Chains A and B, each alone.
Chain A
Amino acid sequence: MGGHPVIRLIAQRIALGILLLFAASLLIFLGTEILPGDVASSILGQAATPQALENLRNELGLNEPAYIRYFQWLGGVLTGDLGTALSNRMDIATSLWPRLKNTLFLATCAAIVAVPLAIILGLVAARYKNGLVDRTISGLALSATSLPEFFIGYVLMYFFAVYLGWLPSVSTVHEGMAFGDRLRAIALPATALTLVVLAHMMRMTRAAILNVMQSAYIETAELKGLSGSEIIRRHALPNAIAPIVNVVVLNLAYLVVGVVVIEVIFVYPGMGQYLVDHVARRDVPVVQAVGLIFAAVYIGLNLIADVISILANPRLRHRR
């Protein structure tokens, strides 16, 4: 015990997050164990001789019981060794690293555009609640949440890359590329990704602000003769920041997943593309490693959202 209750709560959440991550790793491992045959037969195909299968099994350690393989895998992951790809026998960590950087670059660029835009649109919609502006923004957002990523992606590609010819249709990036060229290469996928998360983030921001604006203390402030901007600045924002930050972080988690389809559309050399390729090749070690990294990012972002909510709650910060 001891310590400020907030610190204790946050420590608890972090511990819970780590526990969840371990459980998720177990789930991912088990998810790849449910196949009827095994990895060896899927590598060698139908025509493999029993002897060849046996040799490969031995080589891959598949004759060990599942739990031992799980701990071996987990131990490897914790020491930075993600194993070897079955399809090309390459070290997974080595091929993953540049792709992870590419994906994070793309996601960050999209977030830098999407987050401020979503908050501003959400604020505007909440400010002119039920007005024409709000109805237009909210209506568009409602439609946008039901658009598939590839619809947005291909419409952008068709219009900007093919019809207008302004931007490349395929986002090729390589080591040592100039920053400006790199930005130009990812302009389309980043825009598509922005559009994918924008609507969700904006709708949730609007709801968070309206929720605060309906509180009785906003009425109190109004009855004190404060102006609209003073009410928002002094009374609404301090209470709305936490829910908005929460919304933003949750949507960043969503964005990281949206990356998978967008990367495939624009043939962008990131983690998503890497994952999809190796799922098709049934390359289990790669799928496990990439799946775990996606899950870790997702769990981490959700954890950050939780911690922010705790920190922003005055009831928890100033105890009785």
Chain B
Amino acid sequence: MPDATQTRDSASSTGPLLDIRNLRIEATVYPPDEPPHDITIVEDVSLQLEKGKVLGLIGESGAGKSTIGLSAMAYGRGGVRITGGEVLVNGRDIRQLNPRGLRHLRGREVCYVAQSAAAAFNPAHRLMDQVVEATLKHGLASRAEAEERARELFGKLGLPDPDNIGQRYPHQVSGGQLQRVMTAMALCSEPDLIVFDEPTTALDVTTQIDVLAAIKDAIRDTGVGALYITHDLAVVAQVSDEIMVLRHGKLVEQGETRQIIEQPQEEYTRQLVSVRKIDHEEKSSGGKAILAAKSITAAYGSSTSDVLKEVSLEVRPGETLAVVGESGSGKSTLARVITGLLPPRRGSIEFDGRKLSKGLEGRSRDDLRELQMIYQMADVAMNPRHTVATIIGRPLEFYFGIRGRERDERVAELLDKIEMGEGFADRYPAELSGGQKQRVCIARALAADPKVIICDEVTSALDPLVAHGILDLLLQLQEEKQVSYLFITHDLATVKAIADSIAVMYQGRLVRYGPKSEVLSPPFDDYTQLLLSSVPEMEVGWLEKAISSRRMESAGN
């Protein structure tokens, strides 16, 4: 104990807690059929973090934010190396440390919270043993003291039954709870700095808000410094004092949280801030429904528990119905039922005035053609061994018998529609970016000249700016072709941006359904209220407001 406090105090007497200067990080890549070569992941990034402060690192995938976070522990994942600059923790350059010195740093001065706590916990040990492991290893406390502190942290982080939860194994607690246990694990050895690497990204939105609040309180109460890494600007705005915007491994902009959110200086930051603001006027044609699901009840296999219970909804021509819900709400099952992949137990699907067969086999070619589907993961929705021309051209051949030059011309037209040039026709999916892949999938759906397109979480796997582009494209195509969308998503911001009417689902039931303006205005039912109040807004102080209004609600009840 005395030894530990001594080194810490002497080191932290001068300068910031974390001081990264001109950091450069490289990795060796092994592309197939090419000699291995080095690429630069992070270039010339400098940052400083004072004790007890929180710095948010934000950027799209490939921005190098996790890599920078881990450099504070002198750790490189899978062949990643720090090749330039200095990383000073408590005043000493940790790049100069020997392995023994590094072990003294990790788990004692700097701790790490991973995105997937489910994978980060060892399945063979009880949670408590893993939580106190670093504390005991570094001799910071006795086992009894450490466990006492862990229980205290469990309570502070809002875990149920804090006295006994440590006796469980990782697979015995839920994802949101594991994420909190991991935060407790990082806090247990009383480090000076914690690196949070997307700690709430894998969670449902209503769970995220609680974990976020728990993390924020814990940071404030313990006075630990933190690097908070995320791709979600609205989330990071709630917890950090300062924000650093990164792109392609380089610094874009850095400043106070309020300044970044309210007066971004750089164009890229401005785009990130405004990304959720698509102006979409609600249309209400009031025409006859093109697609109607009538009291659908469905279950998988011979299971007795229904995943969908009595769901009825309608899509009108040229409109967008957004189906929103969290994981397990049954929204994707609904899509499978409508497409015929999962015949419902009860209920029926009507399409353009005719009743569709429940199963796929019974549907005519036109039934299939007029109802198209776009998937969440564009890269697995396309055969990796087919070219873009084959992918887009196949529906033309299959449904309309268009071949040869005529087909090529139509493919070129479609590529043009999705704002991609003709040069893409000969490419394979692996040679496209994430956004381009999704565009090709849209073109494939359009090639069938459909009346309704089911969009299953089509933007959730994409970076915000790219997602924005896809939503824009979908709206523009709707304008042009009068196609209807059944838009399935967990993201309320997307819903607000694109929907004409909204269906809110919870545990297999429809809890709220109607035109967007009605669904989004009070009075709300409990679940919709919870859902709406859980979506982070790009506003400093939103989290506190949301939590306190939620407390008032529950007090009122």
**Residues of A in contact with B (beta carbons under 8 Å apart):** 215-217, 219-227, 230, 234-235, 238-239, 314-315, 318, 320
Contact = CB atoms under 8 A, between A and B. Distances in A.
A315 B123 contact: yes
Given A216-B119, A315-B123, A224 B77 contact: no
B106 A223 contact: yes
Nearest to B103: A225
Nearest to A315: B171
A254 B107 CA distance: 45
A216 B66 CA distance: 15
Contacts of A219: 77, 114, 120
A320 B170 CA distance: 10
A8 B6 CA distance: 56
B172 interface: yes
B124 interface: yes
A226 B171 contact: no
Given A318-B172, A320-B171, 4 more contacts: A216-B116, A220-B120, A226-B133, A314-B124
A226 B386 CA distance: 47
B119 A223 contact: no
A238 B121 CA distance: 13
Given A216-B114, A238-B125, A314-B169, A225 B120 contact: no
Nearest to A228: B99
A215 B119 contact: yes
Interface string B100-135: 001111111001101010011111110000100110
B248 interface: no
B133 A224 contact: yes
B104 A222 contact: no
Contacts of B122: 217, 220-221, 235, 238-239
B346 interface: no
21 contacts: A216-B114, A217-B120, A217-B122, A219-B77, A220-B112, A220-B114, A222-B106, A223-B107, A224-B106, A224-B107, A224-B111, A225-B102, A225-B106, A226-B133, A227-B103, A230-B137, A238-B122, A239-B122, A239-B123, A315-B123, A318-B171
A314 B123 contact: yes
Contacts of B503: none
A114 B137 CA distance: 36
Contact of A226 (B107, B121, B168): B107
B107 A314 contact: no
- Could you tell me the dominant secondary structure of chain A's interface residues? helix
- Which 8 pairs of residues, A with B, have the shortest CB-CB distance? A225-B107, A224-B107, A216-B119, A225-B106, A224-B134, A238-B124, A225-B103, A217-B122
Contacts of B120: 216-217, 219-220
A217 B133 CA distance: 13
Contacts of B169: 314-315, 318
B119 A225 contact: no
Given A217-B121, A230-B137, A314-B123, A223 B75 contact: yes
Which residue among B104, B120, B122, B134 has the maximum number of chain A CB atoms within 10 Å of its CB?
B122
A314 B133 contact: no
Contacts of A226: 103, 107, 133, 137
Contacts of B417: none
Interface in B63-80: 73, 75, 77
B81 interface: no
A225 to B, nearest CB: 4
Interface residues of B, number: 30
B197 to A, nearest CB: 11
A235 B130 CA distance: 10
A320 B107 CA distance: 29
B247 interface: no
A314 B171 contact: yes
Of A222, A227, A238, chain B has the most CB atoms within 10 Å of the CB of A222
Contacts of B119: 215-217
A225 B121 contact: no
B141 to A, nearest CB: 15
Residue of A220, A227, A234, A239 with highest tally of chain B CB at under 10 A: A220
Contacts of A238: 122, 124-125
B138 interface: yes
Nearest to B108: A225
B123 A225 contact: no
Nearest to A241: B124
Interface in B447-487: none
Nearest to A317: B169
A156 to B, nearest CB: 40
Contacts of B123: 217, 239, 314-315
Given A215-B119, A216-B120, A239-B122, A224 B172 contact: no
Contact of A320 (B105, B108, B133, B172): B172
A222 B105 CA distance: 11
A226 B111 CA distance: 12
Most A Cβ at <10 Å: residue of B77, B104, B130: B130
Interface in B132-148: 133-134, 137-138
Contact of A224 (B124, B125, B137): B137
B222 to A, nearest CB: 18
Nearest to A216: B119
A140 to B, nearest CB: 24
Contacts of A221: 122, 133
A229 to B, nearest CB: 12
A220 B77 CA distance: 12
A320 B105 CA distance: 36
A18 B38 CA distance: 56
Contacts of B105: 225
Contacts of A227: 103
Contacts of A216: 114, 116, 119-120
Interface in B290-328: none
A225 B114 contact: no
A27 B92 CA distance: 72
A315 B123 CA distance: 8
Nearest to A217: B122
A224 B122 CA distance: 13
Contacts of B102: 225
Contacts of B137: 224-226, 230
A223 B103 contact: no
A239 to B, nearest CB: 5
Contacts of B168: 318
Nearest to A240: B124
Contacts of B171: 314-315, 318, 320
A317 to B, nearest CB: 9
Contacts of A235: 122, 124
A175 B111 CA distance: 67
